[in-house]
Amino acid sequence: MRLRILLAACTMWGALWTQAALAQQAAPVGDPAAAHKKIAMCEGCHGIPGYRTAYPEVYAVPKLGGQQPAYVLRALQAYKSGERSHPSMRGIASGLSEQDMADVAAYYGGVAK
Ligand code: HEC
């Protein structure tokens, strides 16, 4: 009897542990709706989605609208890790979580070109 309970407990614990491990590994799924609150600061430089910056003659800011979500995500991760070295984008990306980046990437990937 005791052994059975012990076995059941082990099985349950194992299942929970596996679930937790899976949850940690899974990349966050981007939610475009959640991005709305997060892109306010991006708009200042990247402009209205689909457009270039408000000040193209001052310095070039890449267009994000219509970009592949995977590309935007990868670019943000690269700024955060320092692989890409642009100072303002590094500062911005360092304040974004993986979930933020996934949401923002999904948003920009979904807007018209
Ligand atoms: C202070 C101005 C500024 C703000 C604010 C800003 N960006 Fe940028 N961003 C830039 C500039 C300038 C570049 C080009 C940098 C380079 O040459 O690497 C860039 C590049 C990027 C790129 C790479 C694009 C490409 O084609 O490689 C992505 C993605 C990006 N920004 C996303 C964002 C997101 C998301 C936000 C808001 C969370 C944001 N940016 C806020 C100025 C800004």
Decide if 34 contacts 103 (C-beta within 8 A). Answer: yes
Report d(CA 102, CA 46) in Å as an integer: 17
Question: Structural domains in the chain?
Answer: 29-110 (1.10.760.10)
| Higher-confidence position of 87 and 60 | 87
* Residue 65 near residue 108 (C-beta atoms within 8 A): yes
- pLDDT tens sequence across 8-44: 655 655 565 555 555 555 678 999 889 988 988 888 7
Which of 10-24, 33-47, 52-66, 78-92 is predicted least confidently? 10-24
> Rounded to 5 degrees, what are φ and ψ at 112?
-65, 150
Q: Which atom of ligand 1 is nearest to the CA of 93?
A: 38
Confirm or reject: Cβ of 36 under 6 Å from ligand 1: no
Q: How many CB atoms lie within 10 A of CB 8?
A: 10
Which residue in this structure is represented by tokens 């407990």?
9
Length of the chain: 113
Task: Please answer whether residues 110 and 74 qualify as being in contact, where contact means their C-beta atoms are separated by less than 8 angstroms.
Answer: no
- CB of 72 sitting under 6 A from ligand 1: yes
